[in-house]
């Protein structure tokens, strides 16, 4: 039986406005007062044909409002924001407010809403959370760039975000980390049909491994598998031995020891996939062993970092500074006979040799 808008409005009027708010944070009193605005003027979006409409999502300190790119719905959103500002006495920060448009939105609608909104507008979700600018801020902080100092970026952030046993510093690459966090939602969707993402998608997760097995014969239904999967995936599935115990289906994350999903292992998997796609070279076993020896040395962290800089060729010697167009020559300022490269400054310079060969007092 389908319920009309009038039926829902009548039911809302009979509810107590002071009951505990629902999972979206809004109580019955809000819907009683603003039902027309919520029900008709802001339709929201669907991600699946049978899924419910979503017109807002609340995060820790963010709120996303979904509406059609027509001026009437934008006016409804604007009146809702004005109501919020008047109720709380807080003005919306226009510099931190963004409008995102789907790819099929006309340029006229974008310009009309963008000018009326007076906020920063982007064409898609690719810059949501400001990942590119955030990476730039992290790089500037690491290389000491501020209002007084320009700072030299000796290595790209991708190099710094490499694993320690591959010559990096182990920083998290934000794009890969964000992908791992999204994977957590996918895992929840597959294992918890009561979650919000599962209800919104309404894609159905009723399929089971047993559906791919011929009943009674306990062999894979190769035709069915090849009809629904690619060649590589089909070969992998058909090569798996079928259990004789006929146990229940369950999801297992093969990248962790306990079979449960965790963001750390998903991050490393996303990083490895990106490397393969970009053709990025990975050091061999011997190189990884050398880096592990360096990081396992019983010395201070600052000394390890200095050695890492020397091994990755970015100590601020005169030879490297000249490549960055800093200074007029690369001559060693001590011996004044050779170029001050890293190997010369740490080992080959005659003055350095005198230091190594001289007596030490312990």
Give per-residue pLDDT as tens, 106-153. 888 888 887 787 765 655 554 545 555 677 777 777 877 666 666 788
The DSSP output letter for 37 is: I
pLDDT tens digits for 295-351? 999 999 999 999 999 998 888 899 988 888 888 899 998 888 889 999 888 888 888
Tracing tokens 């310009």 back to the chain, one arrives at: 111
- pLDDT for the residue 121: 62
Quick check: is 222 in a domain?
no
Which segment of 84-93, 109-118, 195-204, 341-350 scores lowest on mean pLDDT?
A: 195-204
Alpha-carbon gap, residue 8 to 29, rounded angstroms: 14
Quick check: is 180 in a domain?
no
Domain that holds residue 15: 5-128
Alpha-carbon gap, residue 248 to 149, rounded angstroms: 62
Quick check: is 168 in a domain?
no
Whole-number percent of the chain with pLDDT over 70:
76
Tally of structural domains, the chain: 2
Pairing of the two strands 63-65 and 56-58? antiparallel
Is the model's pLDDT at 358 over the cut of 70? no
Quick check: is 174 in a domain?
no
Instruction: Tell me the chain's radius of gyration from C-alpha atoms.
Output: 30
The residue from 109, 128, 147 where one domain ends is 128
Quick check: is 259 in a domain?
no
Quick check: is 47 in a domain?
yes
- pLDDT for the residue 13: 75
- pLDDT for the residue 300: 93
Alpha-carbon gap, residue 123 to 128, rounded angstroms: 11
Where is 6: in which H helix or E strand? helix 5-13
- pLDDT for the residue 103: 77
Q: Is 168 in contact with 160 (CB distance < 8 Å)?
A: yes
Q: How many angstroms from the chain centroid is the CA of residue 6?
A: 43
Quick check: is 251 in a domain?
no
Quick check: is 238 in a domain?
no
Alpha-carbon gap, residue 73 to 22, rounded angstroms: 25
Within a 10 A sphere around the Cβ of 208, how many other Cβ atoms? 10
Tracing tokens 């790089």 back to the chain, one arrives at: 139
Give the model's confidence band at 23: pLDDT under 50 very low, under 70 low, under 90 confident, else very high. low
The residue from 128, 147, 172 where one domain ends is 128
- The burial class, CB within 10 Å (0-12 / 13-18 / 19+), for 310 is middle
The residue from 128, 145, 179 where one domain ends is 128
Q: How many angstroms from the chain centroid is the CA of residue 101?
A: 20
Q: Is the dihedral of CA 136, 102, 56, 191 positive or negative?
A: negative
pLDDT tens digits for 48-64? 666 677 777 776 677 78
Q: Is 36 in contact with 80 (CB distance < 8 Å)?
A: no
**Average pLDDT taken over every residue of the chain:** 78
Axis crossing angle, helix 107-117 with helix 71-88, rounded to the nearest 10: 20
């Amino acid at each position: 039986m389908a319920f009309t808008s009038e039926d829902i409005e009548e039911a809302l009027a009979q509810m107590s406005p002071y009951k505990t708010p629902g999972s979206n944070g809004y109580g019955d009193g809000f819907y009683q007062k603003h039902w027309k605005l919520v029900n008709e003027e802001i339709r929201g979006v669907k991600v699946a044909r049978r899924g419910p409409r979503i017109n807002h999502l609340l995060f820790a300190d963010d709120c996303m409002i979904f509406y059609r790119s027509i001026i009437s719905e934008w006016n409804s959103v604007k009146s809702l924001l004005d109501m919020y500002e008047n109720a709380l006495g807080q003005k919306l920060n226009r510099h931190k407010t963004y409008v995102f448009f789907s790819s099929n939105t006309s340029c006229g609608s974008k310009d009309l809403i963008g000018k009326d909104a007076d906020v920063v507008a982007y064409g898609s979700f690719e810059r949501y959370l400001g990942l590119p600018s955030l990476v730039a801020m992290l790089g500037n902080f690491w290389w000491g760039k501020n209002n007084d100092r320009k700072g030299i970026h000796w290595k790209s952030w991708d190099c710094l975000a490499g694993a320690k046993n591959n010559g990096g510093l182990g920083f998290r690459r934000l794009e890969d980390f964000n992908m791992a966090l999204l994977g957590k939602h996918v895992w929840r969707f597959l294992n918890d049909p009561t979650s919000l993402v599962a209800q919104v998608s309404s894609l159905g997760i009723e399929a089971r491994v047993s559906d791919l097995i011929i009943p009674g014969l306990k062999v894979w239904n190769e035709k069915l598998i090849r009809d629904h999967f690619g060649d590589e995936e089909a070969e992998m599935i058909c090569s798996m031995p079928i259990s004789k115990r006929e146990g229940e289906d369950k999801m297992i994350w093969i990248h962790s020891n306990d079979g449960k999903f965790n963001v750390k292992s998903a991050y490393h998997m996303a990083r490895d996939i990106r490397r393969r796609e970009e053709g990025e070279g990975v050091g061999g076993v011997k190189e990884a062993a050398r880096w592990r020896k360096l990081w396992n040395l019983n010395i201070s962290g600052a000394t390890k970092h200095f050695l890492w800089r020397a091994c990755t060729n970015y100590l601020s010697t005169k030879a490297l500074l000249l490549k960055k167009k800093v200074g007029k020559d690369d001559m060693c300022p001590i011996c004044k006979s050779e170029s001050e490269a890293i190997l010369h400054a740490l080992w080959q310079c005659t003055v350095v040799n005198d230091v190594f060969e001289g007596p030490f007092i312990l």
